[in-house]
Structure 1
Amino acid sequence: MRVLTLDVGNTSVDVCLFDGSLRYVGKFSHRDVPLLSADLVLVSSVKPSANNIILEKYPHARFIRAEDVPLQTAFKGKERVGIDRLLNLYGAVQLFSKHVVVASFGTATVIDLAVDGVFQGGFITLGVGAGLECLSQRAELIPELKLKKLLPPIGTDTEGAILGGFLRQSLHFLMACVQSWSELYRRQLGLLITGGDGWLFEDIAPYEPLLIHKAMLLLLGFYSKP
């Protein structure tokens, strides 16, 4: 069976195809998602305004809902949590560890925690790329910079000061969460990186860029832990 998985984010759509193995098709604007042959189309969407665009191309697409994800939460209101957060954490629990921090880096930076396989909560803040864009728009002398791995011990030029500052801010925030949660829950926590900008931090923990796609396939039994 050919299964298409669509991760509809705030700025773009990541597309994967599964026909026995998972293959990344590409990243597309919401209106440029390709029409591909598939027996089943699974969609994770955090941009409701784009859902009709997807349905125009794939009328029988199945949108994953919170109630579809068999992930327990330690709080009320699971139905109000972003489906991307639920799927990423579900995938991490199933494929990686029941005590795990998932850090997703994209338009937003999302850091979530599972203990004993139960979603405890997390934090959401502005993503690195979005932060850079915001700074260049609001500060007249700050240039537009492209994301790249740049972590100097101290910034000695504009690029190093800005990129190094943003990356260190995200990195130290992430590691502070891991440390404080480890102490709070008295668990040794694993760390998994995902998201379109997760490659910036792939040196500190395993990077699973297709985690959300694997999670969608797991729900229907098309994917299993290697």
Structure 2
Amino acid sequence: MLLAIDVGNTNTKFAVHDGKEWRAQWRASTDSRRTADEYAPWLSQSMALAGLSFSDMHACIVSTVVPQALFNLRNLSRRYIEAEPLVIGEPGVALGIEVRIDKPSEAGADRLVNAVGAYVEYGGPCIVIDSGTATTFDIVAKDGAFEGGIILPGINLSLQALHEAAARLPRVEIRDPGRVIGKDTVSAMQSGIYWGSIDMIEGLCRRIRAEYGEPMKTIATGGVASIFEGSFPYIDHFDQDVTSRGLLEIYKRNGGTF
């Protein structure tokens, strides 16, 4: 079985694929100081609840936007799976796509993996919106190439900035407040974040499509995306497995077997 690990700035996702289907998925808060021996007991117990164990794993692939976390995850794979992990972005790991930006080395591993995962399922051209610590809009061409995109602060980061910079603004839940005009501080903040995010995403999608000049599908993924499901006429698919699917496809493109 394959253990696919996606390290984001806020959360790290672990997923197991048996060659036919995803058997289980878990999330943990990202902590670059967490050692392989600290990951192992938690992951072992999580696997046991799904009827799995480290002995079932024979391969590992890692995508990370937190370079400091890689050392410990590499050790996790070596010690507990007894396999050298494939690491997105390292020499010899083929993505199978062209990166058509001015400085290809600057493209984040998560954005490239998302491009692969979205293209495999939906084809191109498409826009992949990933809502996490940052919100990214990535453009995937008709032939699957990565053509750049947009990066802006994520919704939780914006809320945190409001709370920390303004002494009287509390932390609030992200949800539809039921109306646009807030009648108290909490509902006003919720309206600003919820409807402001919707209008921002719809506006950027319109601009991207106008500039690109041809019809494009739009796929939303990431930890916050599900909050907005049903609110976007511009979103064609809400898909939480885009990144895992991309890791699986890259593993196969590099000769991985089950």
TM-score, length of structure 1 as denominator length: 0.89
C-alpha distance in structure 1 between counterparts of 2:176 and 2:63, whole Å: 29
| 1:36-51 alignment runs, 5 A limit | 36-37=53-54, 38-51=57-70
Measure, in 2, the Cα distance between the counterparts of 1:79 and 1:157: 46
Map Cα deviations across residues 122-171 of structure 1 (whole Å, 9 max, x no partner): 11111101111121111111111233344623222222211221222222
What's the CA shift for 1:79? 1.9
Partner amino acid, structure 2, of 1:53: N
The 1:150/1:82 distance shift into structure 2, 3 A limit, reads: farther
Deviation at 1:75, TM superposition (A): 2.2
- SS of 2:151's partner is strand
- Superposed displacement of residue 42, structure 1: 0.8
CA distance in structure 2 between the aligned counterparts of 1:139 and 1:24, rounded to whole angstroms: 41
Q: Which residue of 2 aligns with 1:85?
A: 111
Q: Aligned pairs, how many?
A: 221
Note the residue ranges of structure 2 that are not aligned, 5 or more in a row.
Answer: 45-52, 79-83, 254-258
Q: Per-residue displacement from partner, 1:71-125 (whole Å, max 9, x unpaired)?
A: 2233232221101001101211221131111100011111111232332211111
Matched residues, percent identical?
24
Matched, 1:210 2:229: no
Structure 1 residues 210 and 151, CA gap change in structure 2 (3 angstroms): farther
- Matched residues in 1 for 2:70 and 2:21: separation? 26
- Written as runs of structure 1 = structure 2, the 5 A alignment for 1:3-82 is 3-19=2-18, 20-29=20-29, 30=31, 31=34, 33=39, 34-35=43-44, 36-37=53-54, 38-59=57-78, 60-65=84-89, 68-82=94-108
Aligned to 1:176: 203
Structure 1, unaligned stretches of length 5 or more?
A: none
Determine the C-alpha separation between the residues in 2 that align with 1:70 and 1:76. Answer: 18
Structure 1 residues 23, 134: closer, same or farther in 2, change over 3 A? Answer: farther
Report the equivalent of 1:110: 136
C-alpha contact (below 8 Å) 1:92/1:102 kept by paired residues: yes
C-alpha separation in 2, matches of 1:151 and 1:112: 30
Which amino acid counterpart does residue 97 of structure 1 have in structure 2?
G
In the TM superposition, 1:114-153 aligns within 5 A as 114-116=140-142, 117-150=144-177, 152-153=179-180
Which has more radius of gyration?
Answer: 2
Q: Paired residue for 1:185?
A: 212
Q: Decide whether aligned partners of structure 1 residues 151 and 24 sit closer, same or farther in structure 2, where only a CA change above 3 A counts.
A: farther
Instruction: Give RMSD over aligned pairs.
Output: 1.9
Comparing 121-130 with 140-149, which one deviates more in the overlay? 140-149
* SS of equivalent residue, structure 1 residue 79: helix
